[in-house]
A = this chain, B = another copy of it.
Amino acid sequence: MSDALPPEFSLIAKYFRPLAGPGSLDLRDDAALLTPPPGRDLVLTADAMVAGVHFLADDPPDLIGRKLLRVNLSDLAAKGAEPLGYLMTVSTPRDTPESWFAGFSAGLAQDQVEFGVGLLGGDTTSTPGPISLSLTMIGHVAPGRAVHRFGARDGDGIWVTGTIGDGALGLAVATGRLSDPSGFLVGRYRLPQPRVGLPIGGVASAGMDVSDGLAQDLGHICRASGLAAVIEAALVPLSPQARAAGPEWLETCLTGGDDYELLLSVPPAREGALRAAAAACGVAVTRIGGFHAGAPRVTVVGADGESLALAKGGWSHF
């Protein structure tokens, strides 16, 4: 018999093997081998991204690859963990052009350098449906220092990194519902900035990344911590482009998804530590409200002191 290999193997060799990191066995085996850093806990997270749901079919493939990596890095960042490497599955229609794989892998290669991670393993298959991707990210954290959704306490401040709402507005721009000639908002939608490296362990009492919308994700912390949350809309940091969209887009900013900023509960005594850590990383942090004893509930107070009624609590991928 011939030892010629089917196209799946040449795709792997050409586009994915160059991404292989230590422990990947050069992607020539069925599984990766990894010696975990001694005395550290592992942090593991997995996300799926499907064309037509999580990205647009005509998005540049390098940005799809980078976003896939970044949304998972953002989950690690929310735990205060450092990345080790990742496994990935890629299911593509048979007529996917080779240029798509070239762009997708180039984007991954670029971000692997930026974030110091390597590909450990995974799977490539065909699909009769849209491009379907999954990525499992492995990271590590000092034992007992991982940040959770639970743990916020009465009196803690509610903090966010960066600016809120750009991702949701970027989707509105990409789908023709909003105009932004600068391209900033679409850029924020397509290429989130995971806050890995921000040392929140021992600083934040609770936290998560904002992926499904600020209001909904804050609700998760409220439920997990058994607290009520009040945020002041006027304190929520908006980019100049988000402000330019006008007040009718405020609700989208507060409930839209794809921010990938960190949402943190920080005791007053540790606010200085947070500010110092953020300044050292070049990341903006803003206090937008506080947690209070009470039934789990998120209240958004407007500039007039009245609660805003939000039509939806956030974005669901269902």
Contact = CB atoms under 8 A, between A and B. Distances in A.
A122 B156 CA distance: 29
A8 B317 contact: yes
B54 A125 contact: yes
Given A7-B318, A123-B134, A30 B78 contact: yes
Counting every copy of the chain, the complex holds 2
Contact of A45 (B8, B121, B148): B121
Q: From A44, A90, A121, A297, name the one whose CB has the most chain B CB atoms within 10 angstroms.
A: A44
Interface in A58-92: 75-76, 78-79, 81, 87-91
Contact of A48 (B36, B120, B125, B297): B125
A298 interface: yes
A309 interface: yes
Contact of A94 (B6, B87, B318): B318
A224 B28 contact: yes
Contact of A123 (B46, B122, B298): B46
A223 B7 CA distance: 17
A36 B33 contact: no
Interface of A: 1-9, 11, 25, 28-36, 38, 41-50, 52-54, 75-76, 78-79, 81, 87-91, 94, 120-130, 132, 134, 136, 138-139, 141, 143, 146, 148-150, 208-209, 215, 219-220, 222-224, 296-300, 309-310, 313-314, 316-318
A314 B6 CA distance: 9
Nearest to A122: B46
A132 B129 CA distance: 9
A237 B66 CA distance: 47
B136 A81 contact: no
Contacts of A310: 1
Which 4 pairs between the two chains have the least Cβ-Cβ distance? Answer: A129-B129, A6-B316, A48-B89, A134-B134
B224 A1 contact: no
A1 B129 contact: no
Contact of A128 (B7, B87, B130): B130
Contacts of A313: 1-6
